[in-house]
Amino acid sequence: MLSPESLGFVAGALITLGFIPQLIRVFKLKSAREISLLFNSSLLAGIILWLTYGIFLSLFPVILWNGIAAVLVAILLYAKLKYGRQ
Q: Would you tell me which residues interact with its own copies (CB under 8 A)?
A: 4, 7-8, 10-19, 21-22, 24-26, 29, 31-36, 38-43, 45-50, 52-53, 56-57, 61
Which residue intervals of the chain are DSSP H helices?
4-29, 37-57, 60-83
What region, left, alpha or beta, does residue 58 occupy, with left being phi > 0 and alpha being psi -120 to 50 degrees?
left
Cβ closest to its own copies, residue 17 vs residue 71: 17
* Shortest distance in whole angstroms from residue 63 CB to its own copies: 12
Nearer to its own copies, 45 or 71 (CB): 45
The distance from CA 28 to its chain's CA centroid, rounded to whole angstroms, is 19
